Amino acid sequence: MKIASTSENLNFEKRVAITPEIAKKYISLGFEVLLPNNYGLHLGFDNDQYASQGVNIFDNDKDVLINSEIILQLNLPSDNYLSLLKENQNLIGILNPYLNKEKLENLSKKNINNFSLELLPRITRAQSMDILSSQANLAGYKAVIESFANFEKAIPMMMTAAGTVPAAKVLIVGAGVAGLQAIATAKRMGAIVFATDVRMASKEQVESLGGKFLTVEGSENLETKGGYAKEASEEFKKKQEELLSETLKKIDIVICTALIPGKKAPVIIKENMIKKMQKGSVIYDLAAIQGGNTAYTKVNEIVDQEGVKIMGEMNILNKLPISASALYAKNLFNFVSNLLDKKTGKININLEDEIIEKTLIK
């Protein structure tokens, strides 16, 4: 079978779906790998590196699409490329079915199999394919680095003959994969770390990393069966707001990671809370692309709101594209390996397999 990937729009996406290392693994499984000219050049992966592994290099993306059976991407390709797809081709990536519902329905009508990997079930067997976890882990780390770089004080406590510099106080809003990595990174750099989450199961994880878990009094556990956060009640939101409002007065840096799959990000840090924060404080909002967790977040801008810097980027992983590509490409390889019928060497869409059934957009 012929497996391929086309170039992403480098203005928005620098990650790639097939690295030279992973190309070799596909070929060892019996696949023929097709890539366009200079596919990974922006990451230092030149044509020779791919060709030396046995990859077929085509002149352009169009020829790659026409000749392939499985297409691996980061994001849904442009309309021009989608129009080239034909019956029985398989498109695999982060297809964002909530935003691209109509486009994906039209592809399904053409008997194109669309697999969106952000829909993977949270089961043990799917962990090696979990693109949300692998990418969020890096995002949580990088958010801490970016916010610390914009904070104009030292992070760890420093005792000198001239006096003591106190450790920075960091609050992590949302203790999922990104939040837990943010806690670990901030602690390693010497900060005092607090965290809050609507899922009570997060308390033990936060504390195991050395963070202090902030609990809303009388809170319920707001976690879905799939392990994601669900929307809080109005009463919970009010209690959480009161707790955060008091906590933020003494916090130097906030990392926001709270997301609800398929919905606009909840606005957790309101205008009045930011007004109470110390001047010079920094907020990094990882939820910026989905509307943001603060009242003032703007994508790809640093907003200075009365001395508080609020940051948020369209794609923070564009600042770690080599590491992010390595993990993403391996996630995709594991997913494709699960799709492959080892006896026939063909794709087997077995809907009794929960991984396949949940990710296939019908």
Active site residues: 122, 127, 130, 133, 228
Q: Which amino acid is at 6?
A: T
Cα diameter, the chain:
73
Strand ranges in the chain using DSSP code E only, listed in sequence order? 2-4, 32-36, 56-58, 70-75, 90-94, 113-116, 158-160, 163-165, 169-173, 192-196, 212-213, 253-256, 282-285, 301-305, 308-312, 340-341, 346-347, 360-361
Nearest to 122 by CA among 177, 195, 75, 178: 177
- Rounded Cα distance, 361 and 104, in Å: 7
- Rounded Cα distance, 283 and 312, in Å: 9
DSSP 8-state symbol, 128 = G
266: Cα within 13 Å, side-chain hemisphere: 19
Nearest to 336 by CA among 324, 326, 346, 323: 346
CB-based contact 310:164 (threshold 8 Å): no
User: What sign results for the dihedral spanned by CA atoms 240, 259, 128, 39?
Assistant: negative
Say whether 219 sits in a helix, a strand or coil.
coil
**Cα–Cα distances in Å, from 239 out to 66, 146, 235?**
55, 30, 6
259: left (phi > 0), else alpha (psi -120 to 50), else beta?
Answer: beta
Give, for 187, the enclosing helix (H) or strand (E).
helix 177-188
CB-based contact 195:213 (threshold 8 Å): yes
